[in-house]
Amino acid sequence: METVWKIFSVANGGGLYAPPVFSLCMSVFVFLFGSCIGSFLNVCIWRIPRGESIVSPPSRCPKCGHWITALENIPIVSWLALRGKCSSCKEPISPRYIIIETLTGVLFLLLFWNSFFGFQLFRPGYFVLLPLLICCAVNDCELGIIPNEYTYFGMGAGILCALLVPYGAWFSFLYSFFCVLTAGGVAALFAMLGKKLFKREALGWGDVKFLAMTGAFLGLPGVIFTVLAGSLAGLAAHPLVCRLKKRKSRTLRFGPYLAFGALLWMFAGDRLLRMYLELCAAFAQK
């Protein structure tokens, strides 16, 4: 096991080497922590767009009003133990709960491994942005809105997280602030011009604030990548989604695709950018 671990670690750019038991414990902890965050995201996803408090009252079954006990609130496990049904009225509980808990756990684990194995630098801000992306994507997908609560919080948190870099903290703080203004400004300009030119909404204000938020965490290259990757994903997937939902509406809910673009940048942005630059250099030499 130890040799396998060593080979894996060296093969992947010689990231941090740690004893397997420690790495395993850390991985389990990160996954569990992520799924707890996912459980909290479920509360946010339901309550924030409806203008309800995320602190109180405690969760209850929307059908019979049964208060959810602590035992029924354990991420992933409770849903499985209850077989996706309310313990009181036996009405089905949406599989969305377990899906978001598992997804958040898995993405937290991948993010942790990404820096642990030396694929990318450790960036604490990513662990703040990730849950926000999930909330924005799900709310935009379901209700067609990206609540300001996520994006305003994200802009502030992103600028503050920039202070956590090991050196040049003030520079990165100012840069992050600059990126919020630039990304938000350009997106706002695009939204206004689009509305004038096409006589309909080209880019929603939720998306504009979403891009300003991504700017705070990912910087300008990250925002540009997010828009490009998100647009490509949207172009590819939108016709399929329309057909699946039998929806004739031409309006594209951009949030989920933008979130996908931002996720791609977080996990592989460095490598994709390096590949692209190497490709440019190779062409330039010819």
Contact positions vs Zn ion (CB under 5 A): 61, 63-64, 66, 86, 88-89
Residue (85 or 247) nearer to Zn ion, CB: 85
Instruction: State in angstroms the smallest separation of the CB of 73 from Zn ion.
Output: 14
Amino acid residing at 88:
S
Residue (64 or 164) nearer to Zn ion, CB: 64
Instruction: State in angstroms the smallest separation of the CB of 66 from Zn ion.
Output: 5
Residue (71 or 277) nearer to Zn ion, CB: 71
Instruction: State in angstroms the smallest separation of the CB of 13 from Zn ion.
Output: 50
Residue (89 or 232) nearer to Zn ion, CB: 89
Give the burial class of 255: count Cβ atoms within 10 A of its Cβ; 0-12 exposed, 13-18 middle, 19 or more buried.
buried
Instruction: State in angstroms the smallest separation of the CB of 102 from Zn ion.
Output: 23
Rounded Cα–Cα distance for residues 119 and 212 (Å): 26
Residue (88 or 231) nearer to Zn ion, CB: 88
Pair 235, 282: CB distance under 8 Å: no
Residue (93 or 129) nearer to Zn ion, CB: 93
Answer left, alpha or beta for residue 76, where phi above 0 means left and psi between -120 and 50 means alpha. left
Instruction: State in angstroms the smallest separation of the CB of 60 from Zn ion.
Output: 8
Tokens for 151, please give them: 């994006």
Pair 144, 263: CB distance under 8 Å: no
Q: Where are the alpha helices (DSSP H) in 162-204?
A: 169-198
Instruction: State in angstroms the smallest separation of the CB of 43 from Zn ion.
Output: 17
Rounded Cα–Cα distance for residues 269 and 225 (Å): 8
Residue (41 or 86) nearer to Zn ion, CB: 86
Spell out a b/e string for 72-104, using b for 16 or more CB atoms within 10 Å of the CB, else e.
beebbebbeeeeeebbeeeeebeeebbebbbbb
Rounded Cα–Cα distance for residues 67 and 235 (Å): 43
Rounded Cα–Cα distance for residues 253 and 251 (Å): 6
Residue (91 or 278) nearer to Zn ion, CB: 91
Residues 6+ apart with CB under 8 A from 8: 117
Pair 133, 41: CB distance under 8 Å: no
Instruction: State in angstroms the smallest separation of the CB of 91 from Zn ion.
Output: 5
Rounded Cα–Cα distance for residues 126 and 128 (Å): 5
Instruction: State in angstroms the smallest separation of the CB of 99 from Zn ion.
Output: 20
